[in-house]
Amino acid sequence: MHLLNADLHSHSSVSDGTLAPEALAERAAAAGVELWALTDHDEISGLARAREAALDLGMAFLGGCEISVSYAGETVHVVGLGVDGTNGPLVAGLEATRAGRRERARAMAEGLARVGIRGAFEGALKYVGNPDLISRTHFARYIVEAGHCAHTHEVFQRYLTDGKPGYVPHQWATLADAVAWIRGAGGEAVIAHPGRYKFTANGEWGLFTDFMGHGGRGVEVVTGSHTVAEQVRYGDAAIEYGLAASRGSDFHSPEESRTALGALPDLPGRLTPVWTLLAHRIESRTPLDLAAA
């Protein structure tokens, strides 16, 4: 049976990816992706360009975003799929979520300067495609360029995670708001890469029940940041909680991403693909056989 090649998690230069939305669309289409979503961090300003490019390339498209959320003492990410990027409350909510990134970045640069990494604010800015969205990823690229670390993953471990010199805690959106903005904009909310959270305060299943209580209906099962064991663990959780399952590479750049666009295992047949909840939101110039997927 033909399984749909859906990639529902990727980043462009509108957030912390390195490719423009059009170039990302081209790369996805060339890789055989049939249904694609752009999910920039806290931003939907790339969606119109991404949509045009995707439709021109014969790819089906879902507007998306990945919202930063503060939950039980840690940062979790909620992916919105099928959102209308012109929806007022979503646009305003994301704008409020982005606010403060610049001040945070200045404080990060001060912490880094104290351990001998100079000029990090200006250095990170050179990699920023959207002045409203300066992120830790941009700092990581600069710190590699400046020769302090061999690769960005090492930068996160040594400098940019909780307790390290360049880490500055930040207050992001609430879980309730993030889910409400996504659903209010016509989309479905999905817990991004659950395998990456520590779940110290509330336990991982506390996040699942709170998320569902707010109206969330999906969880990423097959993602670039899950091991095979995590795919099984969160596939089981999707069934136990009655959540739909998503599949996405979390692609950021040809140089840095572990997983290429569209190059993921298929969702196990026992799961309900999240795109079956979003058939009415998928845009495509050619018919897409969701039934076969």
Where does this chain bind ligand AMP (CB under 6 A)? 16, 41, 68, 135-137, 152-153, 156, 252
Please choose which of Mn ion, ligand AMP, none residue 153 contacts, taking the beta carbon within 5 to 8 angstroms, the exact cut-off set by kind: ligand AMP
Tell the smallest beta-carbon distance from residue 116 to Mn ion (Å).
26
Q: Residue 9 forms beta bridges with which residues?
A: none
User: By C-beta, is 248 or 273 nearer to ligand AMP?
Assistant: 248
Q: Which two tokens stand for residue 81?
A: 């799929």
Per the listing, tokens 């879980």 go with: 175
User: By C-beta, is 27 or 136 nearer to ligand AMP?
Assistant: 136
Tell the smallest beta-carbon distance from residue 39 to ligand AMP (Å).
10
User: What would you report as the CA-atom Rg of the chain, rounded to the nearest whole angstrom?
Assistant: 18
Tell the smallest beta-carbon distance from residue 31 to ligand AMP (Å).
20
In the list 42, 188, 230, 250, the residue contacting Mn ion (rule: CB under 5 A) is: 250
Q: Residue 245 forms beta bridges with which residues?
A: 219, 273
Tell me, residue by residue from 52 to 81, as one string, x for binding to Mn ion by CB under 5 A and - for no binding: --------------x----------x----
Cα 236 to Cα 30, 95, 243: the distances in Å are: 32, 35, 10
Apex 202 CA angle, 201 and 208, nearest 5: 145
In the list 16, 34, 43, 230, the residue contacting Mn ion (rule: CB under 5 A) is: 16
- Tell whether residue 101 is a contact of Mn ion (CB under 5 A): no
Tell the smallest beta-carbon distance from residue 41 to ligand AMP (Å).
6
> DSSP label at 81?
E
Tell the smallest beta-carbon distance from residue 106 to ligand AMP (Å).
13
Q: Which residues lie below 8 Å from residue 125, measured CB to CB, with a gap of 6+?
A: 131, 134, 138
Nearest to 166 by CA among 176, 158, 174: 158
Report the distance separating Cα 84 and Cα 51, nearest Å.
11
Q: Which two tokens stand for residue 51?
A: 């949509």
Please choose which of ligand AMP, Mn ion, none residue 40 contacts, taking the beta carbon within 5 to 8 angstroms, the exact cut-off set by kind: none
User: By C-beta, is 152 or 249 nearer to ligand AMP?
Assistant: 152
Please choose which of ligand AMP, Mn ion, none residue 136 contacts, taking the beta carbon within 5 to 8 angstroms, the exact cut-off set by kind: ligand AMP
Report the distance separating Cα 230 and Cα 195, nearest Å.
6
Residue 30 is which amino acid? A
Tell the smallest beta-carbon distance from residue 265 to ligand AMP (Å).
21
Report the distance separating Cα 128 and Cα 148, nearest Å.
20
Tell the smallest beta-carbon distance from residue 127 to Mn ion (Å).
12
Please choose which of ligand AMP, Mn ion, none residue 156 contacts, taking the beta carbon within 5 to 8 angstroms, the exact cut-off set by kind: ligand AMP
Please choose which of ligand AMP, Mn ion, none residue 152 contacts, taking the beta carbon within 5 to 8 angstroms, the exact cut-off set by kind: ligand AMP
Segment lying near Mn ion (by CB under 5 A), choices 13-21, 83-91, 126-134, 277-285: 13-21
Q: Which two tokens stand for residue 284?
A: 């495509």
User: In 194-243, which ranges are continuous DSSP H helix?
Assistant: 204-213, 228-241
Report the distance separating Cα 118 and Cα 109, nearest Å.
8
Please choose which of Mn ion, ligand AMP, none residue 34 contacts, taking the beta carbon within 5 to 8 angstroms, the exact cut-off set by kind: none
User: What is the contact surface with Mn ion in residues (CB under 5 A)?
Assistant: 16, 66, 77, 192, 250
